[in-house]
Every structure is written in structure tokens, then in C-alpha cells.
Amino acid sequence: MNSPKNTVTSKDVAKLAGVSQSTVSRVFIPGSSVSEKTKQKVFEAAKALNYRPNAFARSLTTNESRLIGLVFPDADYPIHMKTLQLISSELQKQGYSTVLIPWQVDEKDNHSIPNIFQYRVDGVIAASATFNKTLYEECEEFNIPVVQYARVVEGTRSSYVISDNYEAGQQAAQLLHKTGVTSAVYLTGEVPTFTNVERKNGFIAEFEELAGQTPRVVEASYDYTSSLDTIRELLQTSQRPEAVFCATDNLAMAVMDVARLECGLDIPDDLQVIGFDNIPQTEWLSYQLTTFRQDFKRLARESVKIIVDQICNQNSSLVKMMVPVKLIERKTTKV
């Protein structure tokens, strides 16, 4: 059953290098006092034997795992892959490894959580649309710091770093008002996430302020296909808006498709469209969508910085950070 694996221990290295086991251990702990000469001897022996310190044994004594649990989204929303990549390599730079916490909404099977806490993660980064309160409470119970990435779940009291969605909403309103729009719609998905609500609020407040009109809010779905009917209704009514600001690029593209292919509308002349996320498809020839880019790299870096700080400093306080977004003007809005 037990495969041989790499069974080289610090004792083996010690023997080969002619030093004690504790000395070998010290060599691999940054900042320990070891003479340059023995350090070299040990390194050589370690390399010869292909020695790797056993992280489990280390964790057992130090009481820190240098493992971060990552809660990730279940949707295959295109943006998320990069997120994982960014967070994981940022974490690695700080000496942490990433262990996945797969989180199924639909399954009631609670076994999923306990499992992962057997590994004593030092902290949790929640980059998930489905991170929920149960997991959050588990973390609290075990006194594990958590930071939410790019979103914040209602009812949780953890650190988070998100894009400045309110400001994004304002910018969208400004852009549309500048081009003379007087009637606008905010098209949203079915679940009112905090970030999405913020964006809506910014949009509405700013548009009211500038244009003296309150944008209508229309609820569709976050899924392209299941939004189509709502969009058809939205566009065919006699009170069709001059512009629609969408909660996601997917939604915006659904609007474009229906507008052009089914209603024969011209974009941006008959209808202006703004998305959110800047997924790869936004720059395709068929779309050229005006949208907002979130600075995921910065979000990743900041959330890692926060979690590490939270781990190292016992009583560092919660931090809530807003990162600015970038408006990318393409061909679906007037200039």
C-alpha cells in the first residue's frame, strides 16, 4: 500500500553531511544561525539525496500549514480561470500553497467542509459566487481568517477586496449621459449580489443626477440563453430604452444579438450597450463591446497580501478594499 515515495529525511542528510539532524533542520529555516561552511555541506548532501523537507512534520511543530484554502466558483464563467491562476501564483510567491475547496451549492452533503479543515489551512480566500455562510461560520469557529475576492457575501464579517462597482455604475451613467441618452435600463441577473447592487446603485444615482431620469431596472438571468426572452420583451416594447447597461458581458452580448438579429436595430445608433467584465469575446468582430475591466491582478495581489497579514498578525483588523475599474470604450457606445 505505502509506496516508497521519497523517503529521504533530515536524518539521512545529516549522516551524509556529518552534522546533527537539528543542524540540517536549521539550514532549511531561513534566518537560522548556521555557519556558511556547514550550510554548504548540508546543501550538497541534500541535493545528492534529493531531499525535501516534509511539510507535514513541519506543520505539526510550527502549528502553521502554509496552506490556503481557495473556494472557487462553480460557474464556468470565463474570467475565473485567470483568477485562480493569479491567486495561486501570488500565494506561491509568499510561500503558501493552494488547496481547493470545491463548493457545491446543490449538494447538501456536509462532508465537504470538514474534510478540508483536517488540513488546517492557515486562511481561506473565497473567490466564489457560491461561498456561503455555512463555510464562513466554519472558518470563524476554527478561527481561520478569510478574505473575499471580488465579491462579498451578505451576512459575513470578513475582509474583502472588490472592484469599485459603485464608481463603475457612475462612469457608465456619465458616458451615456454625455452622448445624450435620456432613457436607460440596468439589466441584471437573478441573484442580487452585493457587487452588482452597488453597481446598479451607482448607475441609478448618477444617471438621475445628470439626466433627471431614473433608469429602469430589468431582471434577466446571468445566463445568455435564459435571458433571451426577457431581452426580447425589453427591446420590442414601444418604450425601448436608448441604452442598456448590463451586469455582465454575456448579458450585453445577448442584448446585442437580439437587437441586431431579431429587431434589426443598429448598435450604437438605435441602442447603446455597455457590459461588465471584458471577457475575450468583447473584442471579437461581431461585438466590439464597450465594457469595464476589473483589475484582477491587483485584486489577487491585494487579497493575498491581506490574508498573509491576517495570518501573521494575530489581531490585525478587517480590511475592506475597493479597487478602481477601467472603462473600455469600443463600438457599442457613441463617442
Q: Which residues bind DNA (CB under 7 A)?
A: 7-11, 19-23, 25-26, 28-29, 33-35, 37-38, 51-54, 57-58, 60-63
Rounded to the nearest whole angstrom, what is the least distance from the CB of residue 113 to DNA in the complex? 17
Q: How many CA atoms lie within 13 A of 91 on its CB side?
A: 22
Measured from the CB atom, the residue of 95 and 212 that comes closer to a second copy is: 95
Query: Does 74 contact a second copy by CB under 8 A?
Result: yes
Contacting range for a second copy; rule: CB under 8 A; set: 239-247, 253-261, 301-309, 316-324: 253-261
Would you count residue 63 as binding a second copy (CB under 8 A)? yes
Told to check if 1 binds a second copy by CB under 8 A, we report yes
Q: Which does 226 bind (CB under 5 to 8 A by kind): DNA, a second copy, none?
A: none
Beta strands, E only, 222-280: 243-246, 272-274
Q: Which entry of DNA, a second copy, none binds 84, CB below 5 to 8 A by partner kind?
A: a second copy
Q: Pick between residue 40 and residue 226 the one whose CB is nearest to DNA.
A: 40
Residue in 53, 213, 301, 330 binding a second copy, rule: CB under 8 A: 53
Taking the least distance from each CB to DNA, the nearer of 18 and 102 is 18
Is 220 a residue that touches a second copy (CB under 8 A)? no
> Cβ–Cβ contacts within 10 Å for residue 246, how many?
29
Contact with a second copy (CB under 8 A) among 29, 48, 75, 318: 75
C-beta separation of 24 from 14 below 8 A: yes
Do 73 and 193 form a contact (C-beta atoms < 8 A)? no
From the list 9, 20, 38, 59, which residue makes contact with a second copy (rule: CB under 8 A)? 59
- Side-chain half-sphere CA neighbours of 278 within 13 A: 13
Rg (CA), the chain: 26
Per-residue x/- track, 109-138, a second copy (CB under 8 A):
---x-xxxxxxx------------------
- Separation of alpha carbons 195 and 260, rounded Å: 29
* Among a second copy, DNA, none, residue 19 binds (CB under 5-8 Å by kind): DNA
In the bound state with DNA, the residue whose beta carbon lies nearer, of 34 and 125, is 34
Q: Give the shortest CB-65-to-DNA separation in angstroms.
A: 12
Name residue, grid cell 445577448. 254
Nearer to DNA, 46 or 306 (CB): 46
Q: Which stretch binds a second copy (CB under 8 A): 10-18, 74-82, 181-189, 297-305?
A: 74-82
- Which of 7-14's residues contact partners 24+ apart within 8 Å by CB, and which partners? 8/49, 8/50, 8/51, 8/52, 9/51, 9/54, 10/51, 10/53, 12/49, 12/51, 13/42, 13/45, 13/46, 13/49, 13/51
Residues 257-316 interacting with a second copy (rule: CB under 8 A): 257-258, 261-262, 280-281, 283-286, 311-312, 314
Gap between the Cα atoms of 309 and 316, Å rounded: 7
Residue 248 sits at φ, ψ, to 5 deg, of: -145, 160
Binding-site size for a second copy (CB under 8 A) equals: 77
The C-alpha torsion from 309 through 314 and 317 to 320, rounded to 10°, is 30
* 144 near a second copy (CB under 8 A): yes
What amino acid occupies position 300? A
- Rounded to 5 degrees, what are φ and ψ at 254? -65, -40
